[in-house]
Amino acid sequence: MDDACRDIAPHELDALATGAWILGTGGGGNPYQGYLNMRRLYAEGRRVRLMDPRNLADDDLVAVVSTQGAPLVGQERLKDPEVCARPVRLMERYLGHRFRAVMSVEVGGSNAFQPLLVAAVTGLPVVDADAMGRAFPEAQMTSFAAHGLTMYPLTLADIRDNEVIVARAESPKWMERLSRTVCVEVGSVAATCKAPRTGREVKDCAILHTISKAIALGQAVETARRTHADPVAAVLAAEGGIELFRGKVHDVARRTTAGFLRGSARLEGLDGDTGSQFTLEFQNEYIIGRQDDVVRVTAPDLICLLDSESGEAIGTESLRYGQRATVIALPAPPVLLTPAGLELVGPRAFGYDIDFQSLFPPGAWS
């Protein structure tokens, strides 16, 4: 047993799925399939260890993994743990070095389970960290890029027998373009291993303890449901969030293009918001929210849409007419609010000529 790690308990998988789906801000893919996969692996006797990033040695090598692609496609193509692990093994062969641990590029959505699936078949521990603190649609939208770290090499594998190495890219944006092009060609979903990180880089540049954060958030929702309290209020209390709008989904327009799910959803107000409308625009994740044509919230603040009764997150691929939903905002990790972070994930990174103004005071992220 590794003294630097602890086992992730079976009951924590449920909470991780709930919390990660909320932190996905509508994107990242529903964690449910990854959760079911982990339940099966745990039933077979496998266990996954969670490692505090502070216990990494500075020269340890960490694999940063994800599934890349459109959430709607991910619903139709089930994850295979062995496929998830193939880019990691390919990267080890390419580098000529073994990894000490594995971590997710994003804690939001299904990618929260990607390192767990890899860990279950490789025996590597999962680092309690990620590079977004949420989900984002593009590979360069990370804390590592905000710190100016190199974004290559990258390895990618699909469910067939295709494996690709991107040895070098001019910039983080070019790495996104190159890997996205390959991803689209293999069906708009693929397993990836991003540029490997040293233990020092993870400790200095990653967003720490986000797996634990997602588990705690999910447990807050579970407790509210069990005690017949308001799960939405439980999310707001756990994360220091703000409720923006309560209503019913009235109209949805979406399309899958260039490996992304793009579109908008319009809600008609209920209760205290009766007579008002709220529009959410998305590129995999919810990027901007307008109430009666006035901008209320933009990325990188987390824009989440929750079922008003259960507190379950509603993803952009599962929006449908008649859903009673609550729009909330949660604080973003501080690194995303820096000038370098906003250049990567602020409104202009998504094509909106809007200045970012956070709904939260400095230090709101916890």
pLDDT digits (tens, 9 = 90+) for 323-347: 999 999 999 999 999 999 999 999 9
Greatest mean pLDDT among 172-176, 280-284, 298-302 lies in 298-302
pLDDT, tens digit (0-9, with 9 covering 90-100), for 184-222: 898 878 999 999 999 999 999 999 999 999 999 999 999
Given 183, 210, 237, which residue is the final one in a domain?
A: 210
> What is the distance between the alpha carbons of residues 349 and 67, in angstroms, rounded to a whole number?
21
Residue 115, in any domain of the structure:
yes
Domain shared by 48 and 156, yes or no: yes
- Record the tokens describing residue 194, joined without a space: 């991003």
Which amino acid would we find at residue 308? S
- Percent of the chain scored above 90 by pLDDT? 86
pLDDT, position 75 = 60
pLDDT, position 68 = 86
Domain shared by 206 and 274, yes or no: no
Domain shared by 132 and 62, yes or no: yes
pLDDT, position 154 = 96
Global confidence as pTM:
0.95
pLDDT, tens digit (0-9, with 9 covering 90-100), for 30-62: 999 999 999 999 999 999 999 999 999 999 999
What mean pLDDT comes out for the span 306-310? 97
Residue 264, in any domain of the structure:
yes
Domain shared by 141 and 237, yes or no: no
CATH code of the domain in which 148 resides: 3.40.1610.10
pLDDT, position 92 = 98
> What is the distance between the alpha carbons of residues 65 and 88, in angstroms, rounded to a whole number?
8
Domain shared by 254 and 110, yes or no: no
- Record the tokens describing residue 261, joined without a space: 């799910």
Looking at the 3D structure of the chain, how many domains does it have?
2
CATH code of the domain in which 304 resides: 2.40.390.10
pLDDT, position 221 = 98
pLDDT, position 316 = 92
Find the farthest-apart pair of alpha carbons in the chain and give their distance in angstroms, rounded.
62
pLDDT, position 298 = 97
Phi–psi pair at 169, nearest 5 degrees = -145, 145
DSSP per residue over 308-345, as a string?
TTT--B--TTS--TT-EEEEEEEPPPGGGGSHHHHHHH
pLDDT, tens digit (0-9, with 9 covering 90-100), for 9-31: 999 999 999 999 999 999 988 99
The answer to whether residue 1 scores a pLDDT higher than 60 is no
pLDDT, position 79 = 76
Q: Predicted confidence band at 2 (pLDDT cuts at 50, 70, 90)?
A: low
Q: Predicted confidence band at 322 (pLDDT cuts at 50, 70, 90)?
A: very high
Q: Predicted confidence band at 76 (pLDDT cuts at 50, 70, 90)?
A: low
Q: Predicted confidence band at 240 (pLDDT cuts at 50, 70, 90)?
A: very high
Considering the chain, what is the average pLDDT of its residues? 94
Within its chain, how far is the Cα of 71 from the centroid? 11
Domain range for 124 is: 5-210
